[in-house]
Amino acid sequence: MTEMGQVLFVLAAQVTIPVAAGLLLSRRRDPAAACGPLLVAAAAALLLTPLAFIPRPAWPAFDRPDPPPRQPAANPQSIDTASSGSTLPGGIDLLGLLHVTKPQSSERPTSVDAWRWLSIGLIGLAILGLSQLFLGVLSTMRAVDAARAVGDPGLVALAAELRAALGCRRAFAIRESDRVGTAATAGWLRPVILVSPTWRLWSAAERGAVLAHEIAHVARGDFAARLVARLAVAIHGYHPLLRWLAARLEVRQEMAADARAADRCGGRTAYLKCLAALALRADARPLGAAPTFLSRPRTLLRRIAMLRVTEDTPPRRRWPAAIGVALFAAAALTLHGSTPDALAGPVVRAKAEAPAERPPLDVSFVLPSDKPDDVGVYAVRVGALCRTPGMKKIAETYGETVKTVMGDPKKTHFELTDVEQVSGRVTLTHDPSKPAPNRALMMSLTSIRMEKDFDWVKQLQVWGEDWKEYTHAGVKYYSAKMSVPILGFKDTTTWFYLPDSRTMVLEGEENIKKLIDAKGKPSSAAWAADWKAVEGGMVAVVLPDVKGKLAPKMTADKSDDQTQQAVIATLSAICKKTSRAAVGFDLHEGCSCKLRLACPTADDAIDVDAGCQGITKLARAAIEADPEDPKDPVAKAGKKLSTCLVRGVEFGKTVDHVVEVRTSTPDGLADLLKAFSSEK
């Protein structure tokens, strides 16, 4: 309902533009010419209404030309950044322009949702207006059905004569109705002129004036035009300019019909006398949506004033003003609200610890592996992640799960929020002999670092059996048979190394000896620069040998999902031309992701960049092809976050053949965490 209120707000602004243009361009014009821009403006208001609820197209994204041959640069880290083309709608972000920054707090304020009440009010007005219009049209239809055909030869002959004189090409019927005071015109495809039973008391001049006026309405198609304006007012009943436009259109229609009829009824003076005489004797009862001969008192006075003028405004061409209003209506489409939370009050975002407050993620205790399934290394800030606003309930749930797995009476002497970071290896297995899904991604646990000094020996002795202590190069390390499945199998010996008072390393005995020989920290790896680029985030992953280990596992599998098959094929092509990859994920000030793909050559970097942009386009197409919101709150929030991330993707390349893909969004994460927390 909140998003509906924002859409209706933007729609009101869009409608204002053509309506204001119609009112301005209809001034100082003869009545007949003034009706054109007024009708176009009303029709534009109706057309803009459904368009406001249709997904807006983005600015066209053009493929970048191939870069010229690169020259050595003094700064190898300078990045030539090019946007992938945002999927935000082109034009003016109205809600963004009206955004007022407010102080944020860690908890969502309990305030009234103004957007919700705005949407309820506007929808209620529209329902009321449409109901009134429907009753009016229904009343008109009943009056036409109940009317009696007029067979008087004199009146029929007079109508035929006036029809020819006024150039009316449309056939119409004349009927007598008790529902009208003098006369009215109803219908568009099969128009009907309704006359009061008192027509027999009218003089010949009065009959001619009434019939000429109503035939002029038929010739001009005023019933349909007035119905369009009233429909626009019914939908946008809140809009004062639109009500003003409908009233002006009604007046101009009556004045145009009077001007056209007066020329065929002996001039304006004679026509004015007939109008005044009929106004004194008859009432001006309205008939639903049908224009009547005797309009409302204010309109009648303006008609009389117009007929008294001997010199009219010179007639003008009708189409320039109508085209002008149509152009303003097209310009109104440039208004949009791609920042739906701009006026909804302060935005509460999931804000984690600032990067400056964090120590860098560390995988120096994860030694290289020659196993083909060990494709990379990772590190995660467990404590900071659990302290992120919205993660409290999730952290408590997982903490209780860990304690349950440890078993009673085994005790865990720390909480997840006490863990600074964990690291380990990324393992990817692929069995092409099995049907999809035939890949499995796992993350092993190699090291745990606490935020403060921690007695790991005491904790591990509680968790293990057959505890033993060893010494290598004067440094202690340990082994035990673990009784908890998280750290190892019960009958298998697990080895531990404590390089400092906060860190525990789980490795094989040979690797532990290597770490001791390296004094706790092995030499810098070849991918150290890649890790440096992502070590400040919440999660970091490095794949040191993409082409050698990951590419063979990314072969395209047969799938009925063409999008999925296309993504796998593109990923396979990217992996074959990428040496190393680094992925960083952060939650500070929203959610952000960074991907670095190091390539052997400049040509490979160009191909990898094109492949990444291709996957992004596939992701956008998949999102746009699924306009329905999931019913599950978690799935709905996840779709919103993924949509924001895909829309924010940008690409860049460095001179040392590294392709960078970055995306960030300040919105969506809080909703996802809230949905996770509210799940039972």
**Are 667 and 633 in a shared domain?**
yes
Instruction: List Cβ<8 Å contacts ≥24 apart for 466-472.
Output: 466/493, 472/512, 472/513, 472/516
- Which DSSP state fits 290? B
Which range in 98-112, 322-336, 532-546 is most confidently predicted, on average pLDDT?
A: 532-546
Question: pLDDT confidence of 403, banded at 50, 70, 90?
Answer: low
Question: pLDDT confidence of 93, banded at 50, 70, 90?
Answer: low
- Which DSSP state fits 366? S
Q: Are 21 and 325 contacting, i.e. CB atoms less than 8 angstroms apart?
A: yes
Give the residue among 226, 289, 288, 281 at the shortest CA–CA distance from 256: 226
Q: Are 3 and 671 contacting, i.e. CB atoms less than 8 angstroms apart?
A: no
**Are 319 and 412 in a shared domain?**
no
Higher local confidence (pLDDT), 398 or 526: 526
Question: pLDDT confidence of 665, banded at 50, 70, 90?
Answer: confident
**Count of Cβ atoms closer than 10 Å to residue 110 Cβ:** 5
Residues 6+ away with beta carbon under 8 Å from 115: 1, 2, 3, 4, 5, 6, 9, 343, 344
**DSSP notation for 125-180:** HHHHHHHHHHHHHHHHHHHHHH-EE---HHHHHHHHHHHHHHT--S--EEEE-TT-
Let me know if residue 96 belongs to a domain: no
User: pTM (2 decimals)?
Assistant: 0.49
**Tell me, what's the pLDDT at 62?**
42
pLDDT at residue 503 greater than cutoff 90: yes
**Tell me, what's the pLDDT at 412?**
75
Q: Which of 11-20, 237-246, 259-268 has the lowest mean pLDDT?
A: 259-268
Question: pLDDT confidence of 653, banded at 50, 70, 90?
Answer: confident
What spatial distance separates the first Cα and last Cα of the chain, rounded to whole Å?
A: 24
**Are 311 and 387 in a shared domain?**
no
**Tell me, what's the pLDDT at 679?**
62
Q: Are 377 and 425 contacting, i.e. CB atoms less than 8 angstroms apart?
A: yes
Residues 6+ away with beta carbon under 8 Å from 257: 213, 214, 216, 217, 220, 222, 291
Residues 6+ away with beta carbon under 8 Å from 197: 176, 178
Q: Which of 99-113, 137-151, 381-395, 544-558 has the lowest mean pLDDT?
A: 99-113
**Tell me, what's the pLDDT at 234?**
92
**Are 365 and 242 in a shared domain?**
no
Average pLDDT over residues 307-312: 60
**Count of Cβ atoms closer than 10 Å to residue 551 Cβ:** 18
Token pair 């606003």 is at which residue? Answer: 389
pLDDT at residue 250 greater than cutoff 50: yes
Whole-angstrom distance, CA of residue 198 vs CA of residue 178: 9
Whole-angstrom distance, CA of residue 189 vs CA of residue 225: 13
**Tell me, what's the pLDDT at 443?**
87
Domain final residue, candidates 285, 305, 336: 336
Give the residue among 336, 334, 332 at the shortest CA–CA distance from 98: 336
Tokens coding 35: 């009706």
Relative to beta strand 192-195, strand 173-176 is parallel
Give the residue among 385, 364, 651 at the shortest CA–CA distance from 525: 364
Q: Which of 176-185, 272-281, 587-596 has the lowest mean pLDDT?
A: 272-281
Q: Are 340 and 95 contacting, i.e. CB atoms less than 8 angstroms apart?
A: yes
pLDDT at residue 622 greater than cutoff 50: yes
* Alpha-carbon dihedral angle through residues 512, 513, 518, 520, given to the nearest 10 degrees: 40
Higher local confidence (pLDDT), 126 or 104: 126
pLDDT at residue 402 greater than cutoff 50: yes
Give the residue among 329, 366, 288 at the shortest CA–CA distance from 51: 329
Exposed (0-12), middle (13-18) or buried (19+): which is 254, by Cβ within 10 Å? buried
Whole-angstrom distance, CA of residue 8 vs CA of residue 122: 8
Q: What would the pLDDT profile of 181-238 be if each residue is shown by its tens digit?
A: 788 898 888 899 998 888 888 888 888 988 999 999 999 998 999 999 999 999 998 9
Question: pLDDT confidence of 393, banded at 50, 70, 90?
Answer: low
Let me know if residue 494 belongs to a domain: yes
Tokens coding 123: 């929808």
Let me know if residue 199 belongs to a domain: yes
Number of folded domains that form the chain: 2
Tokens coding 341: 């939370």
**Phi/psi at 437 (5° precision):** -80, 125
pLDDT at residue 340 greater than cutoff 60: no
Question: pLDDT confidence of 180, banded at 50, 70, 90?
Answer: confident
Amino acid at 418: D
Average pLDDT over residues 19-48: 88
Higher local confidence (pLDDT), 213 or 341: 213
Let me know if residue 179 belongs to a domain: yes
| Domain range enclosing 407 | 355-678
Cα–Cα–Cα angle for 136, 141, 147, rounded to 5 degrees: 125
Stretch (H or E) spanning 471: strand 464-472
**Tell me, what's the pLDDT at 96?**
60
**Are 181 and 305 in a shared domain?**
yes
Whole-angstrom distance, CA of residue 427 vs CA of residue 439: 10
Question: pLDDT confidence of 296, banded at 50, 70, 90?
Answer: low
Whole-angstrom distance, CA of residue 661 vs CA of residue 670: 23
**Are 368 and 309 in a shared domain?**
no
**Tell me, what's the pLDDT at 274?**
84
**Are 322 and 374 in a shared domain?**
no
Let me know if residue 18 belongs to a domain: yes
Share of the chain above pLDDT 70, in %: 74
Whole-angstrom distance, CA of residue 427 vs CA of residue 528: 20
Let me know if residue 462 belongs to a domain: yes
Domain final residue, candidates 303, 336, 369: 336
Whole-angstrom distance, CA of residue 465 vs CA of residue 428: 31
**Are 554 and 634 in a shared domain?**
yes
Average pLDDT over residues 35-44: 91
Which range in 51-60, 88-97, 269-278, 545-554 is most confidently predicted, on average pLDDT?
A: 545-554
**Are 486 and 630 in a shared domain?**
yes
Whole-angstrom distance, CA of residue 462 vs CA of residue 483: 9
Count of H helices and E strands in the chain? Answer: 20, 20
pLDDT at residue 57 greater than cutoff 60: no
**Are 324 and 368 in a shared domain?**
no
Q: Are 665 and 650 contacting, i.e. CB atoms less than 8 angstroms apart?
A: no
Average pLDDT over residues 548-554: 86
**Count of Cβ atoms closer than 10 Å to residue 106 Cβ:** 7
Whole-angstrom distance, CA of residue 627 vs CA of residue 640: 11
Cα–Cα separations (whole angstroms), residue 657 to 76, 437, 533: 10, 33, 15
**Tell me, what's the pLDDT at 520?**
54
Domain final residue, candidates 336, 367, 390: 336
Whole-angstrom distance, CA of residue 553 vs CA of residue 545: 12
Question: pLDDT confidence of 367, banded at 50, 70, 90?
Answer: confident
Whole-angstrom distance, CA of residue 138 vs CA of residue 30: 33
Stretch (H or E) spanning 424: strand 419-430
Computed over every residue of the chain, the mean pLDDT equals 79
Q: Are 361 and 533 contacting, i.e. CB atoms less than 8 angstroms apart?
A: no
Q: Which of 338-342, 399-403, 439-443 has the lowest mean pLDDT?
A: 338-342
Q: How many CA atoms lie within 13 A of 86 on its CB side?
A: 10
Average pLDDT over residues 119-139: 89
pLDDT at residue 342 greater than cutoff 60: no
**Are 324 and 420 in a shared domain?**
no
Whole-angstrom distance, CA of residue 39 vs CA of residue 328: 14
Average pLDDT over residues 608-615: 91
Higher local confidence (pLDDT), 341 or 140: 140
Average pLDDT over residues 276-296: 63
Instruction: Give me the count of residues in the chain.
Output: 680
Q: Mark 150-173 as b/e (b = at least 16 C-beta within 10 Å).
A: beeeebeebbeebbeebebeeebe
Let me know if residue 94 belongs to a domain: no
**Are 329 and 359 in a shared domain?**
no
Higher local confidence (pLDDT), 101 or 225: 225
Whole-angstrom distance, CA of residue 520 vs CA of residue 589: 34
Biggest CA pair distance of the chain: 127
Q: What would the pLDDT profile of 633-645 be if each residue is shown by its tens digit?
A: 778 878 888 888 8
**Tell me, what's the pLDDT at 541?**
94
Let me know if residue 345 belongs to a domain: no
Q: Are 158 and 206 contacting, i.e. CB atoms less than 8 angstroms apart?
A: no
**Tell me, what's the pLDDT at 299?**
61
